[in-house]
Amino acid sequence: QSALTQPRSVSGSPGQSVTISCTGTSSDVGGYNFVSWYQHHPGKAPKLIINDVTKRPSGVPDRFSGSKSGHTASLTISGLQAEDEAEYYCCSYAGRYVVFGGGTKLTVL
């Protein structure tokens, strides 16, 4: 049950796009389509922004999109806005267990 691997930080200017990767194994990301992404602002509860690899919950802007290839899932945020600055976590089902990524700090320059 090792944590999924995410870059520690990414950055982009307003209007640009950024992609955050999330690498696991065949026992988690590569084995199931139960990958989700969470946006976490300090002092608030995490917010689900992508579920089941590619789906956006109601109310989440279409600037947020998810994908997966093999053992690596990705979150892309297009048209960056100042309020997107937050910590982002990926998460995967791993057969009775669950594993999170280490988190990626997104800075909007």
Partner 1 sequence: QVQLVQSVASVKKPGASVKVSCQASGYTFTGYYMHWVRQAPGQGLEWMGWINPNSGGTSYAQKFQGRVTLTRDTSINTAFMELSSLRSDDTALYYCTRDVSWNYDYWGQGTLVAVSS
Given the rule CB under 8 A, which residues bind partner 1?
A: 1, 3, 32, 34, 36, 38, 40, 45-46, 48, 51-52, 57, 87, 89, 91, 93, 96-103
CB of 13 to partner 1, least distance (A): 26
Residue nearer to partner 1 on the CB measure, 17 or 28? 28
- Name the E strands within the chain: 9-12, 18-23, 35-40, 47-50, 64-69, 72-77, 86-93, 98-100, 104-108
CB of 79 to partner 1, least distance (A): 24
CB of 14 to partner 1, least distance (A): 26
Four-point Cα dihedral 87, 36, 28, 70, nearest 10: -100
